[in-house]
Chains A and B, each alone.
Chain A
Amino acid sequence: MSLKPDNLIAPEVHHCSKCGACLHVCPVYLQKMEEGVSPRAKVQLTRHYAEKNLVTSSHLNSLVNHCLMCGNCTAACPSGVQHQSLFMRMRSYMATDHGEGWHLKALYHFLSHEQQLRLVSRFARLGRNHMLEQVPREFKIGKIPAKRLPKFNKQPFREQAVEKIAPEIQSRGTILYFTGCGTNYLYEQVGHALCHILKIMGFQVEIPRSQVCCGLPMFIHGNMEKAAANIKTNIKLFNRKDIVAVVTDCATCGSALHKEYGIVLEELGLATGEAEELGSKVRDIGEFILANFSLLEPHMDPCATRQKVTYHMPCHLRNGQGVTTEIEALLKRLPHVDYTRAADYDHCCGGGGTFFYDHPETSHQIVSRKIKNAIATGADTWITGCPGCSINLSGNLQESDNITVEHILLLIEQGLNKQG
């Protein structure tokens, strides 16, 4: 179960016609306006590395990793180059040749050991929630001030929630809920809202207790072997025949479960059948609610306080799950929402997993433009469906910005009938 070196000299390298169609969709290129960080250059550099015209170096490492893994390039590529697979492989080679940062090593370790992740989250909670007053005010992670990071849940969400939540009325079937680390450790209220909403829509919600991190933070950095154990655990728990759907409230986890599990297993030379079966059942929660809106509509309060709302589309929703127009359509159907589209609502937020930490300047420039355009809509609520985007958008707001980043589930919950 390891990568073969000749995997790298893969068809996709030679399929790149160097046309340039990936340039204007790449958030990093548009910020830097320099070919070296463009998807096209990364493909060509990978080819030169494979053909041994180029050896690994810290500079090559930095160019190849100057990437949000948002998938815009793949979506725009006329030749069908699968950039993500290629970059995962290249990152894996760079890591072997050049080593990984301490933060990535720590990340892989904890994300692949759920018990330890729980433990470390408790310490982190103490650090974040109680000791923050004592750290210098200017302390930042990347460009995000520590005080603007979300607080940790007192207890992981999966330990707070019951494993099976019965529907309010007769059951329309069972939904498996993949909570993701974001909701489990940071955004418990999103998890509770999801259970509440599906319950009143008539579904039984099950939250498999032994689910683990989706593995995406590991495999996009090239550590596919470590991710494989997580992938197998989750496939076993979630690939069930007796269910209506597997839902996620995190665009990133959703793209992993929907599409990328199969890609990673294939890279490792393992069977992909079960991953594909699971993938076909995975639905983003917003997409799922829209498709079943008639079940929710009677529970919406026509007199709920109106809110001015704008939206940020996570890249992993569009490129990873093919969810393009659905969330805006859902927002427009909510009776308490006045929706205004921001000029660059579908541009990447610049967070990109650890990108905001690894490349703080580029990330900050990308997110600053988004913030300006979101504020220009006059909205007071900025909806998105991904904890990663939420942390980055919210973290980069100024105290004086009159806009709050929120998950769509919380917005929906605020519009429900009070007795519902």
Chain B
Amino acid sequence: MNTLIKKEFNSIVGDSRFRDRLEDLLSYSYDAFTVESVPDLVLLPVSTAEISAILKVASEHQIPVTARGAGSSICGAPVPVNGGIVLSMTMMNRILETNTPDRYCIVQPGVINGDLQAELAKSAFFYPPDPGSMAFSTIGGNLAQNAGGPRCLKYGVTSDYVLGMEVVLASGDVIRFGSRNVKDVTGYRLSGLFCGSEGTLGVVTEITLKVVPLPEAYRTVLAVFNDLDDSAATVSDIIGAGILPAALELLDKVLINTVEDANNIGLPREAEGLLLIEVDGSEEQVEKELALIVEKVLSNNAVDIQQARTAEERDNLWQARRSLYPSMARLKPNCIVEDATVPTSKVPEMIRGIRAIIDKYKLLCGIAAHAGDGNMHPLIACDLRDHDEMERVEKAIEEIFELAMANNGTLSGEHGIGIAKRKYLSMAIDKPTLKFMHTLKQAVDPHGILNPGKAI
């Protein structure tokens, strides 16, 4: 990028929010994925007007622009693979309005998901999407990846909560769609298009979100099974009985043992599967559901069952689930988490299939799943510096995707495509459909400057 163009950008944001020294650029070359790429310039805008001005200049000179939240994506979505500009949205982090009687809030994209939860909790409300990164990831990033989380089984994912947006297009034009209304069918529902578009269609500068009241009570059950089919039968029996839990988390044998090695919390090492089941709602309702869940768990041959009624007991039961990533991540320098997703009933078959693939390639992998929605999370511990191992990891991941597709599944349940899964897209999307997506992209970003090389 030549000096004259840099000067144009500098005149928009000023010296204090303009970075072009290598030491600074390197800090924006990564997310939590393995691939890195150094941008030519980092800008830290604070307003829609600045972003509009930046995109006008970038369009004129056809410079790639990649918006970035906290950089906690695990598929490379904010990595500037073609260089150009990284737009760091972290300084646009104000909660502009919370209106719980009307059930919405308006935020800037850099607001941390966890900070929004804390603010809403003051009025006994919450925003349901709860990705594992919620304590540090941004709403803008969550939106770009259409993030999910454990409780999305009951409540739905990010796109189910976006009422409206302000977006700066590649041309610099600013568009606004949706409204503060929970019901709104005026015009195309563009929020569905922008959620999960990974910054390839526009830069989101303001988001109106639907919020819901916090449940009054929780009940949590931890159940242990010696046969994966029993755990799957439990899941379908619970849902079949008309209970939609707020979480249905499954850990396989390797994870149970890895968590137990690291934390010594008394998990049964012989077990094939551990289910963490949580319901939320009114006191009366959760107590009734708890009894029903216990009945279903026992009738499906659970070998151990624990129940939690208080916040402290609940916290204890969640410890196994909470510590699975740290426990796996400490086994080797790196830990790759995939998120192929299959219909719920296929979960046991997927776990056994993934296990066979992992054994074939002699890898170290624990398998977790959001068992209620079939979102699989194989966690593969590895060392990026070991080229032979990484080749085997790559082959295994490809076969896991093939297995998911053979089971009517899909590539990603909640992490997004980024650069990680782009080469597998043709497994899940046929040619005419992919062409339709490219037509849309071409129409709104003719020079392809917005986050090139991602999503589609």
Interface residue ranges, A against B (CB under 8 Å): 11, 14-15, 17-21, 23-24, 33-36, 38, 41, 44-45, 48, 53-54, 57, 59-60, 63, 78-80
Residues of A within 8 A of B330 (CB): 15, 78-80
Residues of B within 8 A of A44 (CB): 26-27, 30
CB distance B23 to A63 under 8 Å?
A: yes
In the complex, number of A-B residue pairs with CB atoms less than 8 Å apart:
88
Residues of A within 8 A of B31 (CB): 18
Is B446 an interface residue, CB under 8 A from the partner? no
Residues of B within 8 A of A14 (CB): 333-334, 383-385
A79 and B74 CA atoms in complex are apart in Å by: 15
A41 and B136 CA atoms in complex are apart in Å by: 15
A19 and B71 CA atoms in complex are apart in Å by: 8
Is B88 an interface residue, CB under 8 A from the partner? yes
CB distance A33 to B93 under 8 Å?
A: yes
Query: Which residue of chain A lies nearest to B91 when distances are taken between CB atoms in the complex?
Result: A33
Measured CB to CB, the closest approach of chain B to A60, in angstroms, equals: 5
CB distance A20 to B133 under 8 Å?
A: yes
Of the candidates B21, B23, B26, B333, the one having the most CB atoms from chain A within 10 angstroms of its own CB is B23
10 pairs from A and B in contact (CB 8 Å cutoff)? A14-B384, A19-B32, A24-B136, A35-B90, A36-B19, A41-B27, A45-B23, A59-B23, A60-B23, A80-B326
Contact of A17 among B21, B26, B112, B334 (CB under 8 A): B334
CB distance A78 to B27 under 8 Å?
A: no
Question: Could you tell me which residues of chain B, from 7 to 56, have a CB within 8 Å of some CB in chain A?
Answer: 19, 21-24, 26-28, 30-32, 44
CB distance B88 to A34 under 8 Å?
A: yes
CB distance B70 to A23 under 8 Å?
A: yes
Query: Which residue of chain A lies nearest to B93 when distances are taken between CB atoms in the complex?
Result: A33
Residues of A within 8 A of B135 (CB): 21, 24
Residues of A within 8 A of B136 (CB): 20-21, 23-24
Measured CB to CB, the closest approach of chain A to B390, in angstroms, equals: 13
Residues of A within 8 A of B333 (CB): 11, 14-15
A24 and B137 CA atoms in complex are apart in Å by: 9
Residues of B within 8 A of A54 (CB): 22-23, 26
Of the candidates B31, B135, B136, B137, the one having the most CB atoms from chain A within 10 angstroms of its own CB is B136
Known: A34-B44, A35-B71. A19 touches B90 (CB 8 A): no
Measured CB to CB, the closest approach of chain A to B302, in angstroms, equals: 29
Residues of A within 8 A of B137 (CB): 20
Residues of B within 8 A of A24 (CB): 112, 114, 135-136
Measured CB to CB, the closest approach of chain B to A81, in angstroms, equals: 10
Known: A17-B329, A48-B26, A59-B23. A34 touches B90 (CB 8 A): yes
Nearest 3 Cβ contacts at the A-B interface: A20-B72, A78-B326, A41-B27
B287-310 interface bits toward A, Cβ cutoff 8 Å, 1 = contact, 0 = none:
000000000000000000000000
A144 and B368 CA atoms in complex are apart in Å by: 52
Residues of B within 8 A of A15 (CB): 329-330, 333
Residues of B within 8 A of A60 (CB): 23
Measured CB to CB, the closest approach of chain B to A115, in angstroms, equals: 41
A18 and B337 CA atoms in complex are apart in Å by: 13
